[in-house]
Amino acid sequence: AQSVTQLGSHVSVSEGALVLLRCNYSSSVPPYLFWYVQYPNQGLQLLLKYTSAATLVKGINGFEAEFKKSETSFHLTKPSAHMSDAAEYFCAVSDLGGGSNYKLTFGKGTLLTVNP
């Protein structure tokens, strides 16, 4: 069974500082990994997706994530935080061992606060 652990339910950074949101996963087969962002009262928006091509994945809004198989990690980073980055971020894993469309398993989310 697949699972996702997001370390830190709340991360606070200053504007212009590095953003690092941590995600570790477990999966019995090579996974697909995702990061989503959610603004208040809205649905989730895809930031980026790892699909076993390049291990460093670039997404929207200047975010990127690196897949590290040895550490079973997929941490999300952004070099310089903007006030508009304040939101909740979700990591998710999809087990494609079944060979067809399949459900994602989500982490519990990390709330990012950006201080002026």
Partner 1 sequence: DGGITQSPKYLFRKEGQNVTLSCEQNLNHDAMYWYRQDPGQGLRLIYYSQIVNDFQKGDIAEGYSVSREKKESFPLTVTSAQKNPTAFYLCATQDKGNTIYFGEGSWLTVV
Footprint on this chain of partner 1 (rule: CB under 8 A): 9, 32, 34, 36, 41-46, 49, 51, 90, 92, 94, 96, 100-104, 106-109
CB-wise, 44 or 76, nearer to partner 1? 44
Residue 86 or 106: which CB sits closer to partner 1? 106
Q: Please give the DSSP secondary-structure letter assigned to residue 71.
A: T
CB count in 10 Å sphere of residue 29: 10
Q: Are 104 and 93 in contact (CB under 8 A)?
A: yes
**What is the C-alpha separation between 92 and 103, in angstroms, rounded?**
10
The CB-of-77 to partner 1 minimum distance in angstroms stands at 21
Pair 92, 105: CB distance under 8 Å: yes
Which is closer to partner 1, CB of 17 or CB of 104? Answer: 104
Q: How far is the CB of 44 from partner 1 (least distance, A)?
A: 4
User: How far is the C-alpha of 34 from the C-alpha of 93, rounded, in Å?
Assistant: 6
* Shortest Cβ 27–partner 1 spacing (Å): 13
Q: Of 70 and 101, which has the nearer Cβ to partner 1?
A: 101
Q: How far is the CB of 83 from partner 1 (least distance, A)?
A: 23
Phi and psi of 61, rounded to 5°?
A: 60, 25
